[in-house]
């Protein structure tokens, strides 16, 4: 019987943003920053002969260019993140990771320690 698992690899980035679709006067419409925490989750059946689903190092390699593109930038200046809500950031990360991680199951963007968006693709 195959062993089904979900594996998680996390990364962090610091970035500024403002949310242009929020109402005038809303605090999130002003430029501000967050210490983002992102969980990238893959899922699948573990091949018995291997004993593991994917090398965590391979996940790290897939994530690295995304982390570099986001860390210490104004998210609104990045193509596709002109409205960088947690929801749009999660989708943006998914779209860039999915080709490199075909077993991608979920992207979780923690904008603060109490707020997160869980995204599982289209």
- Annotated active-site positions, please? 28, 72, 111
Q: Convert 74-111 to b/e letters by CB count within 10 Å (16 or more is b).
A: ebbebeebebbbbebbbbbbbebbeeebeebebbbbbb
Task: State the virtual CA torsion across 4, 40, 101, 93 in degrees, nearest 10.
Answer: 150
- 33 in Cβ contact with 16 (< 8 Å): yes
């Amino acid at each position: 019987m195959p062993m089904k698992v979900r594996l998680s690899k996390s990364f962090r980035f610091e970035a500024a943003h403002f949310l242009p679709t929020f109402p005038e006067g809303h605090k999130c419409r002003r430029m501000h920053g967050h210490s983002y925490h992102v969980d990238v989750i893959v899922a699948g059946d573990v091949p018995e002969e291997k004993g593991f689903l994917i090398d965590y190092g391979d996940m790290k390699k897939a994530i690295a260019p995304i982390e570099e593109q986001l860390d210490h930038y104004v998210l609104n200046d990045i193509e596709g993140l002109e409205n960088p809500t947690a929801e749009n950031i999660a989708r943006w990360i998914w779209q860039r990771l999915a080709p490199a991680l075909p077993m991608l199951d979920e992207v979780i963007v923690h904008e603060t320690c109490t707020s997160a968006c869980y995204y599982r693709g289209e």
